[in-house]
A and B are shown apart, each in its own frame.
Chain A
Amino acid sequence: MTQHSESPSDVAAFHAAYDHLKPALPGAGWLRELRHVAMTRFLSLGLPGRRAEQWRYADLGPLRKGSFSPVTLAQETEQARIDAAAVPGLDAPRLVFINGRFQRALSRMEGLPADLAPQSLREVLITGGGSLRDLITDLRDGDAFDQLNTAMMSEGVVIDVPKGLKVETPVEIVYLVDDADDRAAHLRVVVRLGEGASLKLIESFKGDDSRFFTNLITQTTIADDAHLTLIRRQNEGAETVHISRIYATLGRGALAVHHLATGGQSARHELRADFTTEGGDVRYQGIQLARPHQTLDTLTFLDHAVPNCTSDQAYRGVLAAQAVASFQGKVLVRRDAQKTDAKQKSDSLLLDRSATSNAKPELEIYADDVQCAHGSTVGELSTDQLFYLMARGLSPLEAKAMLVEAFIAALCDGVPDEAARNAFIETARGWLQNLDIHDLALKEAS
């Protein structure tokens, strides 16, 4: 350990893991150099502290305490566990990751159009030549987790949707954590849509109670008239630290993100979208359901750099006793971005007054001819509504569950795939069923 004494203690374990793994990390030449530079930056940055504005509401405690090494061995996992993690009733091609490793044998590619061939990132990194530089964004100016991801990424998937291809079937990705204490997955998923292409990606994250660290970056480029729909259900295990980022660069295309987060001990979800051409559109609908003593955190950053782009963000958070859930939504409208139409709304429901909800809408507007609106509310269940339901026969728990479901109903209804929509609703119901009446404590004022 003495050789790492120059690193802050909270990154020493990651440094050690990197040194140990370095020879086995896929890729050579400039990529090796890129990893080295990223690791050096990571070590000098250290894990962000609470003083960093963007990390005020996050909980990185479990990362500081733990030691997470990337998985090197494949786990034998039963098919039934994978099916249980996937979207029920979704008949679609499926890519499977277990503990951060791509499992070709457990994936199924049938049903994909002939000219759509998802590739394992690991294989691409090993075999790829000069085109890798286009593929891998170096995230030079990114924060510690960007650097860590670049240094350690060894698995992921590359999906290239060629110009004009509208993929009819949804494509599912399952990320399962199975018996992997003190392990980490540094994943990079690359999704590129050519002009006029469209794709619906449905992702499910599920895990057991392993102390695990998921560190995922999804990079996507969406060309003119292309449309990417990303439906993500984050339901990882109770001891997992989850950090996932969607980095989107849009032409005159559209991105729709539908996000449901219930999992992890501490989970952070980010969306960054850069508009580069007039006419780009981003829709974001996010739900966080936080159980007792859990920290869930969402951060969005939409960069309206060019005129005539639209964005619409809706966030809903539900917090049980002692939970922390946060939404920081930034919209930057640069000076040239006239005729921008940007909306943002965040609403949170506290099931108990011991919960902490943070909402920070941030509109930074430098153009003068724009339409920007934002709103934010925090409330409790209505005692009138609860009594109305109970007077009709619903138990207090059933009544609360019905009202919570109603609170997020509009965002669930917005999920543009029936199986995924039902999975959102079922996941929310499962979340409610795991709460007991004390977590939902709400006494009528008397």
Chain B
Amino acid sequence: MQLGFLVDLHLCMGCKGCEIACKVENEVPLSTWRLRVKYVDVGAFPETKRTFTPLRCNHCANAPCERICPVSALHYLENGIVNIDKDRCIGCAGCIMACPYGAIYIDPQTQTADKCTYCAHRVASSMMPSCVVACPVEANIFGDLDDPMSNISKYIQQHQGNVQVRKPEKGTEPHHYYVGGGNVTLNPLASFRAEGHSLFNNLTHLPVGGHH
């Protein structure tokens, strides 16, 4: 079994229901996110459009975070999920340095690394991840990539030529796919991100380490 995720960006409408469901399900503390939806505006008035990109851990087959973790706090489950043992984590932040997707953060309450686990605890009970359940348009598709009859496998088959992963050049072999993605949605360098007040909130950096 190899669990994977696919987001159809044609369907996502940026409601952020997945974000909130994830926060509630996993008790993600304030100021941190396992899953977030990034809004990017493209074009110039009146020819503009807004893109929505849900971003979470890619559960890579060749995960740099798992490799760099000195204590195996980050480890693979048999179903392919890259899981984290917060009781073992020493908070060295090596995984944050290694993850090319910025998917790992330091939990301010436990002072350990944390990230999306594809809701491994729910999956173990044969339930879908909370973000999948919350999505009103079924933009999040989750399932077994090794099973050709699973929804995700069939979706990938149907959309061949339009399925992408983030930063394939890193060789991480992500198990998280996007349909309808492009440079603006998947490449963080392809959009301008100024610090300061933006549309709805303040784009900024967090003093994560507390050593500043």
Pairing of A with B: no
- Which residue numbers of B lie inside 8 Å of A, CB to CB? none
- Which residue numbers of A lie inside 8 Å of B, CB to CB? none
